[in-house]
Amino acid sequence: MPQGLPVSDVVEVDILMAPRAAQMRNFGSLLVLGSSDVISPLERMRTYTSFDAVEADFGTEAPETQAAQRYYSQSPQPKDLYVGRWVKDAAAGELQGGILTQTQQDMALFTAVTDGSMKITIDGTLKTITGVTFAAESNLNGVAARVADKLPTATVVWDASAGRFVVTSKTTGATSAVSFAQANTSGTDLSALMHLTQDDGAKTAAGLPAESLTDCVALMAEFSAKWYGLTLADSGVQLADAVAVAKLIEAQSPSRIFGYTVQDGNATDPQSDGDIAAQLSAANLGRTLTQYSGSDPYAAPSLMGRAFSVNFNGNNTTITLKFKQEPGITAEFLTSTQAKALKAKNCNVFVNYNNDTAIIQEGVMCNGDFIDERHGLDWLQNFLQTNLYNLFYTSTTKIPQTDAGNTRLLANVEASMDQAVDNGLIAPGVWNGGPIGHLSPGDMLTKGYYVWMDAIDTQAQSDREARKAVPIQVACKLAGAVHFADVLVNVVR
């Protein structure tokens, strides 16, 4: 039957989807960097949300597992962890097979093979495998072993956690390589059955020469912007390398922090200036924190785990690290002289007091800034930046270069600052900085902050033609935290 004229001739309706706003950075994410070969050079980094997942991949004794255990033992527990691979020693080339589904892992598919064959190139030499039988095998580990029997220049394993076969050259360095597999002219094709072809999703990675620690950290920064904190899980890190990493983190953008566990007893000696705590403090580094521990090489991840549990989007959620606990870390017994030496070097410590308590003190970066303020201000910078960007990005019309447009920008910044007040990072107080707009030294910041934008008619013509906004200036007062108290008791008779 005739449908009639379309209604759109009279009423036209278009649905316009607004773009998704840009996401905030995660300021509760730690990267543990170690040299265990569990993570291949092809992968370089894995994401975790629980200690059990790290332990399943690395086992119970790996340095990466030990660092993750301290991190996840904190209360409240942090959520996000990354583990990265440092190619400390030259790495082998490898072929990671495509992922096999549960159906494709059915052993019946493999035990039926009695004449398996394929071609694969190891370190530039073509290898032809023939006559492989899986008839007697009961699991995929056995399948991998039978293929390995035919490849003396490589190892072949079944990675149960990933659900794939991995072929690795027995040589290392830049010339070490494993190609994609391909079918042979006869026999049952193992390349497709084991998903070792490019069409089946396999991936190859050439071997790598040994890399310096700083080169690895720089690569990890390029690899992902999602991690904020960094700590090392390797007992063989040289002092000079740790200092170099600290200086690299200091200069990186976006902002990050580095946590290092100091085990050199000289750090507790007031006369020592050669230990790493003294060196990092002397370098006045504001993005590195140290923690002394005579017994635990992974104490710093515990401290960072407590800091990274803060939710800046909540109410009254910011903390100071002093007085906090470190579950699983043995508290130090120090003399007053030793404690003062660590304090002078801005080195944190989990220490026993004579009232049967143990606390973290002092909760500072190597330059003496408090960790909670460095962490909070990094969050605030990104929060302001992301919110203002999203105002431009999600606006369906332009923001004009007028006083009305200025007001929209100013209101956006004020909304961000309100959250900094709400979570406890900043608070009302007397402004003791220089004059800004109508704000003068000695004035009360009743809201905890003051935002100023000059009138649009004061803007330089060149800035207007470049479509720049009038500069937005913010004055704010950190809430701080009480770490010490004096009580004077006056007694009369």
Per-residue pLDDT of the chain (493 residues; tens, 9 = 90+): 677 888 888 888 887 777 888 888 999 999 999 999 899 888 899 999 999 999 999 999 999 999 999 999 999 999 999 999 999 999 999 999 999 999 999 999 999 999 999 999 999 999 999 999 999 999 999 999 999 999 999 999 999 988 999 999 999 999 999 999 999 999 999 999 999 999 999 999 999 999 999 999 999 999 889 999 999 999 889 999 999 999 999 999 999 999 999 999 999 999 999 999 999 999 999 999 999 999 999 999 999 999 999 999 999 999 999 999 999 999 999 999 999 999 999 999 999 999 999 999 999 999 999 999 999 999 999 999 999 999 999 998 999 999 999 999 999 999 999 999 999 999 999 999 999 999 999 999 999 999 999 999 999 999 999 999 999 999 999 999 999 999 999 999 9
288: three-class secondary structure by DSSP: strand
For 160, which DSSP code? T
Q: Tell me how far apart the alpha carbons of residues 306 and 371 are, in angstroms, rounded to a whole number.
A: 11
pTM (two decimals)? 0.90
Q: Where are the beta strands (DSSP E) in 57-189?
A: 80-85, 94-96, 116-122, 125-132, 154-159, 164-169, 188-189
Reference 157, options 142, 170, 172, 171; nearest CA is: 142
Structure confidence by residue, pLDDT tens digits, 68-81: 999 999 999 999 99
Q: Tell me how far apart the alpha carbons of residues 260 and 237 are, in angstroms, rounded to a whole number.
A: 11
Structure tokens at 379: 């969050």
Structure tokens at 317: 């959620």
The neighbouring-strand residues paired with 155 are: 168
For 361: left if phi > 0, alpha if psi spans -120 to 50, otherwise beta; the answer is beta
For 474: left if phi > 0, alpha if psi spans -120 to 50, otherwise beta; the answer is beta
Q: How far is CA 1 from CA 4, 10, 242, in A?
A: 9, 22, 80
The neighbouring-strand residues paired with 169 are: 154
Q: Are β-strands 125-132 and 116-122 bridged in parallel, bridged antiparallel, or unpaired?
A: antiparallel
pLDDT, residue 259, reads 98
Structure confidence by residue, pLDDT tens digits, 16-43: 777 888 888 999 999 999 999 899 888 8
Please tell me whether the peptide bond between 362 and the residue prior to it is cis, using omega within 30 degrees of 0.
yes
Reference 219, options 91, 87, 40, 29; nearest CA is: 87
The answer to whether 293 and 262 are in contact (CB under 8 A) is: yes
Q: Where are the beta strands (DSSP E) in 21-132?
A: 29-34, 45-48, 80-85, 94-96, 116-122, 125-132
